[in-house]
Amino acid sequence: MKHDLLLVNPPITLEERYGSFASVGSQAPPLGLCYLASSARKQGYSVKIIDAPALSLDLASTLTQIAQAGADAIGITASTVSLNRALELAKANVVIWGIDNSKYMLAVAKQKLRKEDTAVRGRVTLRLGDMRDFRLRETFPLVYIASSTFEHCVTEEDQWKCLKSVHGALKDGGVLAFDISQSDHDEESSWWIDRRELGEKEVVRTIFSKRNPATGVVSVNLFFDVYRRGVLKERYHEFGEAKLSTKESIERILRSVGFTVQKVYGDFDKSAYSGQSKRVIFICNKQ
Ligand SMILES: C[S@@+](CC[C@H](N)C(=O)[O-])C[C@H]1O[C@@H](n2cnc3c(N)ncnc32)[C@H](O)[C@@H]1O
């Protein structure tokens, strides 16, 4: 039987999970997946769970079972201990299209992709495009706007256009997930410095940010100083803008575009949103 949704608890041994305590470790039911399955079933979807540790499946047999299930959408548990396994499963099955309006960022992504095997590379398509105005020949069950990228839509019109483009790229009932950050201080400007060692290089990053209280737009200037053995060798400057928005204003635009907001989280650990949350994570459905 073909299912709408397949939820997978990745294969992981007691040794991997509990280390030297493996002999006293036990398998726990994947309660989170059970909650998700029960909720999706109540909405009328057919759901299957593959609990690989309970079934003593290894990676290869889990992949076989996933392929046999032929589900429209697959969700994989990615807890700290099982993250690498979850990635292996995801890499083996998911078709991904990514867009970015920076050819430099796309070049970085392509460089990383070159390290993957041919099968993985064949499932990834990267396109130069503007999230506020794109049309792809495919439609997708899931669109994910990662890492607060939505904040680069700095006017309500841009936000609307971006959500409208995403709406067009989704299959009916498809899911949009994205995050925005919430400002926890009222300061109009701030600056900070951090440093990172990259092989022989040391990169010192100085960041200045200034918020326009009238528009909620934060302007960010980033200066990168690259040192080699303590000597300054290169210096770069980047400028970017991000809009701080309230949960309510985004929900209003989502509804006007034709999305139903299914869930709003306060962080990636799925904690409930509250006025004190540092992030807002929206999970929405195309109506
Ligand atoms: C916060 S970074 C996220 C980078 C990367 N996706 C990640 O998750 O690590 C924001 C990205 O959005 C891209 N971006 C900014 N405005 C955009 C637009 N209008 N259309 C498409 N991409 C945009 C930037 O080039 C940058 O790569």
The conformational region for residue 117 under phi > 0 = left, psi -120 to 50 = alpha, else beta, is: beta
Strands (E) across 84-230 are located at 96-100, 124-128, 140-145, 170-181, 189-198, 201-212, 217-228
pLDDT recorded at residue 93: 67
CB environment 144-170: b (16+ within 10 A), e (fewer) = ebeeebbbbbbeeebbbbbbebbbebb
Pocket test for ligand 1, best of 97, 99, 100 (most atoms within 8 A of CB): 100
Looking at domain 5-182+248-286, which CATH architecture does it have? 3-Layer(aba) Sandwich (3.40)
pLDDT over threshold 80, residue 230: yes
CA distance from start to end of the chain: 26
Per-residue model confidence as pLDDT tens digits over 72-103: 888 888 877 777 778 777 776 678 899 999 99
Cα–ligand 1 centroid distance for 179 (angstroms): 13
Residue 1 — pLDDT band, cuts 50, 70, 90?
low
Domain boundaries defined on the chain: 5-182+248-286, 189-243
| Stretch (H or E) spanning 89 | helix 83-93
111 Cβ partners below 8 Å, 6+ apart? none
For residue 105 and ligand 1, the question of a CB distance below 6 A is answered with yes
Same fold, 5-182+248-286 and 189-243: no
Report residue 121's pLDDT band, with 50, 70 and 90 as the boundaries.
Answer: confident
Which of 44, 21, 139, 28 is CA-nearest to residue 77? 28
According to the model, what pLDDT value does residue 120 have? Answer: 78
Is the pLDDT score of 200 beyond 70? yes
pTM score: 0.71
Q: For residue 72, what pLDDT is reported?
A: 81
| Average pLDDT taken over every residue of the chain | 90
Q: Which of 197, 204, 195 is nearest to 236 (CA)?
A: 204
Q: Measured in angstroms, how far is the CA atom of residue 51 from the centroid of ligand 1?
A: 35
Ligand 1 atom 17: residue of nearest CA = 101
Dist CA 53 CA 10 (whole Å): 7
Arch. (CATH architecture) of 189-243: Single Sheet (2.20)
CB 46 within 8 A of CB 72: no
**Gap between the Cα atoms of 202 and 213, Å rounded:** 35
- 193 confidence band (pLDDT: 50, 70, 90): very high
| SS (HEC) of 231-271 | EEEEEEEEEEEEECCCHHHHHHHHHHHCEEEEEEECCCCCC
Binning pLDDT at 50, 70 and 90, where does residue 197 land?
A: very high
Kindly state if the Cβ of 100 falls inside 6 Å of ligand 1. Answer: yes
pLDDT of residue 286: 94
Q: Is 155 in the pocket of ligand 1 (CB under 6 A)?
A: no
Block residue for tokens 């053995």:
229
In this prediction, residue 18 carries a pLDDT of: 80
Identify whether the C-beta of residue 271 lies closer than 8 Å to the C-beta of residue 265.
Answer: yes
